[in-house]
Amino acid sequence: MKLVDIKTFVVGNPPPHFGGRYFVFVKLTTDGNVSGVGEAYCVPFAPHLVAQMIEDVFDRYVRGNDPHDIESMWRRVYSSGFTQHPDLTLMGVLSALEMACWDIVGKEAGQPVYKLLGGRVHERLRAYTYIYPRPGDESDVYHDPDLAAERAGEYLAQGFTALKFDPAGPYSAFDGRQLSLDALDLSDRFARKLREAVGNRADLLFGTHGQMTAASAIRLARRLEPYDPLWLEEPVPPDAPDEMAKVARATSIPIATGERLTTKYDFARLLQAGAAAILQMNLGRVGGILEAKKIAGMAEVQHVQIAPHLYCGPIVGAANIQIATCSPNFLILESIESWGGFHSEILVKPIQFEDGHVIPSTAPGLGVEIDEVVASANPYTGSMLHLEMTQNPVR
């Protein structure tokens, strides 16, 4: 069996853009006409250039090889151009190619990928969602704790038992910083209003994106501790695990992080520092499915749990489901609400969501297929990146 063809898709994510402005998908095909799909997460270049990068790496290291030989492919790509370093761009590209190979391998075996990585551990996967805005909202749910509390009740009615929110202010190219007293007060009010609204029916997940210094994160954590969040997410930038460990040691709130890390090497440094209780690898960036399984195994040794990250498209979502299903230390899965809207339309068959849980597919491979007609009808024509940081210091 040999990989002989590649097709890439840069798909615009229509309003309200939950999950990002666009998705970069790849489809690989073998000489036996078996195809597999993958997705790259948040590579920091224009998405059509990212598609060309994926095609270039395929031509150099993947074309003509057997998709089963994932370890060999991984080492060749990881070392591309004399690198051998956790490069975010290259690993995003590799992640897309690697999960497409696993999709093919699963189809050839007639099994879902999780059956090839140790088998099913979890029958259902507990899921959480961000608290998102709605058309017609009279205020901004990201800044209005009363509206967020009202929206939380709607999500609980859908079966969710965990909700994420991020009121700490914008993330900037100049972070970490000390949060202002206003930002601290708003964060406190959000946590209090939401805890009053949900009681013990749902966990609260306090999201941040590296906005703070360790000292500022400790100040925030002390305000949040009375509301017992399940986690405080990425409180300091991802380049300083020792600083994140200072926060972990100073608070009773579990620290979660990992969406901006890649490969087992980054995560090993995080674990060695004792910086996190919950790892949030994104399978469209971390190096693919097998790399995520290795990281989950490393974490299991230290009784650290995993909560696969998702702020992208449903192909990464499907890969997350595979790794969550077969990992004993799985905690919770990020969902984009209940996988409706465009996340459903772009797939031939949507991801199954039931009463706050994802139901792992028993279909072979990743269990999803891209609807290429929908993908072609929604090209991305913008110039902005998937996610962008504020370009000036936040005062």
What are 35-50's pLDDT values in tens digits? 999 999 999 999 999 9
In the chain, pLDDT over 70 holds for what percent of residues? 100
- Pairing of the two strands 162-165 and 22-30: unpaired
pLDDT number for residue 280? 98
Compute the distance between CA of residue 163 and CA of residue 227 in angstroms, rounded to an integer. Answer: 13
The CATH number covering residue 183 comes to 3.20.20.120
pLDDT number for residue 94? 98
Question: Is 254 in the same domain as 121?
Answer: yes
Please say if the pLDDT value at position 212 is more than 90. yes
Question: Is 88 in the same domain as 148?
Answer: no
Residue 333 lies in a domain: yes
Give the chain's mean pLDDT: 97
Amino acid identity of 122? H
Q: Which of 209, 343, 357, 386 is catalytic?
A: 209
> What's the mean pLDDT in 372-379?
98
Question: Is 188 in the same domain as 294?
Answer: yes
**Domain range holding 69?**
3-111
Question: Is 232 in the same domain as 359?
Answer: yes
Amino acid identity of 179? L
In the chain, pLDDT over 90 holds for what percent of residues? 100
Amino acid identity of 164? K
pLDDT number for residue 59? 98
Compute the distance between CA of residue 395 and CA of residue 355 in angstroms, rounded to an integer. Answer: 42
Q: What is the pLDDT of residues 119-136, one digit of tens each?
A: 999 999 999 999 999 999
Please say if the pLDDT value at position 69 is more than 90. yes
Q: What is the pLDDT of residues 310-366, one digit of tens each?
A: 999 999 999 999 999 999 999 999 999 999 999 999 999 999 999 999 999 999 999
pLDDT number for residue 228? 98
Residue 47 lies in a domain: yes
**309 carries an active-site annotation:** yes
Please say if the pLDDT value at position 68 is more than 90. yes
pLDDT number for residue 395? 82
Q: What is the pLDDT of residues 236-247, one digit of tens each?
A: 999 999 999 999
- Residue position matching structure tokens 């057997």: 66
Question: Is 94 in the same domain as 150?
Answer: no
Residue 386 lies in a domain: no
Q: What is the pLDDT of residues 91-105, one digit of tens each?
A: 999 999 999 999 999
The CATH number covering residue 16 comes to 3.30.390.10
Name the strand (E) or helix (H) holding 57: helix 47-57
Question: Is 341 in the same domain as 213?
Answer: yes
Q: By the 8 A CB rule, do 133 and 368 touch?
A: no
* pLDDT tier at 275, thresholds 50, 70, 90: very high
Q: CA 339 from chain center: how many Å? A: 14
For residue 325 the two structure tokens come to: 């299903």
Q: Which of 68, 85, 309, 357 is catalytic?
A: 309
> What's the mean pLDDT in 275-289?
98
Question: Is 347 in the same domain as 222?
Answer: yes
Q: Which residues contact 338 (CB under 8 A, 6 or more apart)?
A: 129, 158, 353
Q: By the 8 A CB rule, do 321 and 358 touch?
A: yes
